[in-house]
């Protein structure tokens, strides 16, 4: 017989250990204007509604991740890769390249054997 | 007959195919029939490749008929996460921006599966670009948990986990960046393994966070996971972070299934307050079980683990903001708004806004923020230092013990929709799994029973040092054998979500 199931309580009943928003970082909170700037940098044409929603959510997330600043890490070297490797070489073997047809096969638009793209310079 | 074939282990199927007791085509048909019967309710697959699978199965049968040698998993079906490129199937990463994309090349993992005679049934659902813990971030709708269709199967490799737990496939392949194999494995009641970073190739894995992404196996038994681990892993010159070392002896370790004399450390920081009571109870029982099997248990503190989650949510989004810049609407994928008046940059911004879902947008912006000048040192730089400290915690711990253990997740599978609008709550699903992603060491989740309060599976996480992946299998196989014996049947026999659905 299947064990009885009941809904777990709301999320709030469990502590949120590592992620508990550190509200003392409030001075670092992010504004809607900053989020709009990030969207531009990120090449995301967001709607006004999205900007409102993301501003609130990113504010909470940034406050939570700012906890890394509590750690005493003076003089600790950064880790960029889990298993460090340097100067990785392989034999320089000639292999057939991807042909033009295969490369263009999934292009949103192609013309005369090339990718066709929208204009990249301003009109004036 | 078909029903029996789908209940078999991968090892059992391979042995039967090799012995000629059953053909690979019959095995494949049985699994395609199962997918046909249950996937409408489960939605584990984004694409089912029936013809290609049957062709691959026939090739195995022909090789056998010709007396050619077969690999240890020849003729075994496998469900492949839709993040691995495949020339004969779409690769979408659960994103609208890649809907219908046909890659011009196979991922190394794809190629190795094919070469080993595995039969790829299709591509499985996932959180968009592997960002999420529930598959609810898929642009094509969520997958469901075979234990209870109202709940999530975990994520991001939730489609592969659900497929394996629902007997649609004996094996699944996923990728783990913050827990995306172990967490869905745990909440679906199956085995999920994150190999040592670099142990499995990233070539042809659509990149999320390159310093973390690690392909790995999902299976119903520890031995099956080990067989798939061996088949898919190994050095790849096409991945510059691939480790040039032999694959650890994982299959032998799974067969050894012995923890006598092994030193096992319980991580102080991964438990206690904030964990669901049933998770804590089953974990405590697993610790007792390991002790009764002859392991030496001690408690080990890894003080910086509590900073793993915030560090991860700086490092992974930073890498993602850079990696996903490639989706520029120029060479492949979606293009929106190209009406002859707009510039390439405008088309790019419109396309990315239309093609990416909310979580991907959040992470791209978060990463752009963390990497921007003025914030770099305080966020990304600091997170990288925390990463060093977490690695040092592991190094110190592994001087005292052979493996570390913890619950795999703080809670069991949560209801669909519960955390969709609360990103921080969703992020907590990976609380226990993230440290090993940051440090790159091997880690595995194996089922250790059901939580009494909701009847849902709980995972035991085992963590081993870099390139000591074999230790995971030794411990997990011992736990699996002891629990199966005590219970008298495999845990998945108690998964009734699909039967309940059928009865409705």
3-state SS record for B202-216: CCCECCCCCCCCEEE
Number of Cβ atoms within 10 Å of the Cβ of A114: 12
Whether the pLDDT of residue B226 is over 60: the answer is yes
The dihedrals phi and psi of B480, each to the nearest 5 degrees, come to: -60, -50
Residues of B that are catalytic: 81, 156, 180
Tell me the domain boundaries of chain B. 90-114+130-305+388-503
**For testing the chain B interface, which of A43, A66, A78 should be mutated: the one with the most B CBs within 10 Å?**
A43
- Between B47-51, B202-206, B375-379, the lowest mean confidence (pLDDT) is in B375-379
Report the alpha-carbon distance of residue B239 to residue B214 in Å, rounded. Answer: 12
Min Cα distance B344 → chain A (Å) is: 5
Check if A35 contacts B (Cβ < 8 Å).
yes
Residue B501 DSSP class: H
pLDDT score recorded for residue A22: 37
Report the alpha-carbon distance of residue B190 to residue B199 in Å, rounded. Answer: 21
Q: Tell me which fold the domain B90-114+130-305+388-503 belongs to.
A: Amidase signature (AS) enzymes (3.90.1300)
pLDDT tens for B37-79 read 999 999 999 999 999 999 999 999 999 999 999 999 999 999 9
Q: Which helix (H) or strand (E) holds B309?
A: helix B308-323
Residue numbers in A near B335 (CB within 8 A): 108-109
Residue numbers in B near A68 (CB within 8 A): 307, 310-311, 314, 379, 382-383, 386
pLDDT band, very low/low/confident/very high, at B498 (cuts 50, 70, 90): confident
pLDDT, mean of residues B85-110: 97
pLDDT band, very low/low/confident/very high, at B496 (cuts 50, 70, 90): confident
A 44-63 near B (Cβ less than 8 A) = 44-47, 50, 53-54, 57-58, 60-62
Q: Cα dihedral angle (B221, B222, B225, B231), rounded to 10 degrees?
A: -120
pLDDT score recorded for residue B501: 72
Output the CA angle B183-B186-B192, nearest 5 degrees: 75
pLDDT, mean of residues A25-41: 83
User: Tokens 């906890």 belong to which residue?
Assistant: A67
Q: Considering only alpha carbons, which residue of chain A is nearest residue B410? A: A14
pLDDT score recorded for residue A122: 74
pLDDT, mean of residues B96-104: 97
Q: Is the distance from CB of B112 to CB of B231 less than 8 angstroms?
A: yes
pLDDT score recorded for residue A8: 38
pLDDT, mean of residues B231-236: 97
Whether the pLDDT of residue B271 is over 60: the answer is yes
Min Cα distance A45 → chain B (Å) is: 5
Q: Is the distance from CB of B191 to CB of B446 less than 8 angstroms?
A: yes
Query: How long, in residues, is chain B?
Result: 504
- Between A11-15, B146-150, B153-157, B216-220, the lowest mean confidence (pLDDT) is in A11-15
Check if B245 contacts A (Cβ < 8 Å).
no
pLDDT band, very low/low/confident/very high, at A4 (cuts 50, 70, 90): very low
Report the alpha-carbon distance of residue B34 to residue B158 in Å, rounded. Answer: 18
CB pair distance less than 8 Å for A108 and B334: yes
Pairing mode, strands B263-267 and B403-407: parallel
Q: What is the CA radius of gyration of chain B?
A: 21
pLDDT score recorded for residue A72: 87
Q: Is the distance from CB of B370 to CB of B376 less than 8 angstroms?
A: yes
Over chain A, what is the mean pLDDT?
A: 80
Report the alpha-carbon distance of residue B128 to residue B140 in Å, rounded. Answer: 9
pLDDT tens for B321-349 read 999 999 999 999 999 999 999 999 999 99
**For testing the chain B interface, which of A7, A17, A33, A59 should be mutated: the one with the most B CBs within 10 Å?**
A17
pLDDT score recorded for residue A123: 64
Min Cα distance A76 → chain B (Å) is: 6
pLDDT band, very low/low/confident/very high, at B2 (cuts 50, 70, 90): low
What's the pTM value of the predicted model, to 2 decimals? 0.94
Tokens standing for residue B228: 């798939």
pLDDT tens for A80-118 read 888 878 888 888 999 999 999 999 999 999 999 999 999
Q: Strand runs (DSSP E) across B306-350, as ranges?
A: none
Residue numbers in A near B378 (CB within 8 A): 66, 69
Q: Closest CB to B104: pick one of A65, A81, A98.
A: A98
Q: Closest CB to B307: pick one of A45, A71, A77.
A: A71
pLDDT, mean of residues B482-492: 96
Whether the pLDDT of residue B373 is over 90: the answer is no
């Amino acid at each position: 017989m299947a064990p009885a199931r009941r809904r777990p309580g709301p999320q709030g009943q469990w502590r949120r250990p590592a992620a508990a928003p550190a509200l003392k970082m409030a001075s670092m909170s992010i504004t809607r204007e900053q989020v709009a700037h990030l969207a531009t940098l990120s090449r995301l044409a967001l709607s006004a509604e999205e900007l409102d929603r993301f501003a609130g959510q990113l504010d909470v997330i940034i406050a939570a991740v700012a906890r890394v600043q509590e750690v005493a890490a003076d003089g600790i070297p950064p880790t960029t890769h889990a298993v460090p490797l340097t100067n990785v070489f392989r034999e320089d073997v000639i292999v057939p390249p991807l042909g033009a047809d295969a490369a263009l096969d999934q292009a949103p638009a192609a013309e005369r054997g090339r990718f066709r793209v929208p204009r990249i310079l301003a009109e004036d | 007959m078909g029903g029996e074939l789908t209940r078999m282990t991968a090892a059992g199927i391979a042995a039967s195919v090799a012995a000629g007791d059953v053909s690979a085509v019959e095995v494949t048909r049985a699994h395609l029939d199962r997918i046909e019967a249950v996937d409408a309710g489960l939605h584990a697959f984004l694409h089912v490749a029936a013809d290609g699978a049957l062709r691959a199965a026939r090739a195995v049968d022909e090789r056998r008929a010709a007396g050619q040698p077969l690999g240890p998993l020849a003729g075994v079906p496998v469900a492949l996460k839709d993040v691995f490129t495949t020339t004969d199937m779409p690769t979408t990463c659960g994103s609208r921006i890649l809907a219908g994309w046909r890659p011009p090349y196979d991922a190394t993992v794809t190629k190795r599966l094919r070469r080993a005679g595995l039969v790829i049934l299709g591509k499985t659902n996932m959180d968009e670009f592997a960002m999420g813990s529930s598959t609810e971030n898929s642009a094509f709708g969520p997958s469901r948990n075979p234990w209870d269709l109202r709940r999530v199967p975990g994520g991001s490799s939730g489609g592969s986990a659900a497929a394996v737990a629902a007997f649609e496939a004996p094996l699944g392949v996923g990728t783990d960046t913050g827990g995306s194999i172990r967490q869905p494995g745990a909440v679906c009641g199956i085995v999920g393994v994150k190999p040592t970073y670099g142990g499995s190739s990233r070539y042809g894995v659509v990149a999320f966070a390159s310093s973390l992404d690690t392909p790995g196996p999902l299976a119903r038994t520890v031995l099956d996971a080990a067989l798939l681990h061996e088949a898919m892993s190994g050095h790849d010159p096409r991945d510059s972070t691939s480790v040039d070392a032999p694959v650890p002896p994982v299959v032998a370790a799974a067969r050894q299934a012995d923890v006598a004399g092994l030193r096992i450390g319980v991580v102080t920081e991964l438990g206690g307050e904030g964990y669901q009571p049933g998770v804590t109870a089953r974990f405590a029982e697993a610790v007792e079980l390991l002790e009764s099997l002859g392991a030496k248990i001690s408690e080990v503190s890894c003080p910086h683990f509590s900073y793993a989650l915030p560090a991860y949510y700086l490092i992974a989004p930073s890498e993602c903001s850079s990696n996903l810049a490639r989706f520029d609407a120029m060479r492949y994928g979606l293009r929106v708004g190209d009406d002859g008046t707009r510039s390439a940059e405008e088309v790019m911004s419109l396309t990315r806004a239309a093609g990416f879902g909310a979580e991907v947008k959040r992470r791209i912006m978060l990463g752009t923020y963390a990497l921007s000048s003025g914030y770099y040192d305080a966020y990304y730089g600091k997170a990288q230092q925390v990463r060093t400290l977490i690695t040092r915690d592991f190094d110190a711990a592994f001087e005292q013990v052979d493996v570390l253990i913890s619950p795999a997740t703080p809670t069991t599978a949560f209801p669909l929709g519960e955390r969709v609008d609360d990103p921080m709550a969703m992020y907590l699903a990976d609380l226990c799994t993230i440290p090993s992603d940051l440090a790159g060491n091997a880690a595995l989740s194996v089922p250790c029973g059901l939580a009494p309060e909701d009847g849902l599976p709980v995972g035991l996480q085992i963590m081993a040092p870099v390139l000591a992946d074999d230790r995971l299998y030794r411990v997990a196989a011992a736990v699996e054998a002891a629990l199966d014996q005590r219970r008298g049947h495999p845990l998945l026999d108690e998964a009734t979500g699909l039967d309940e659905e059928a009865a409705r």
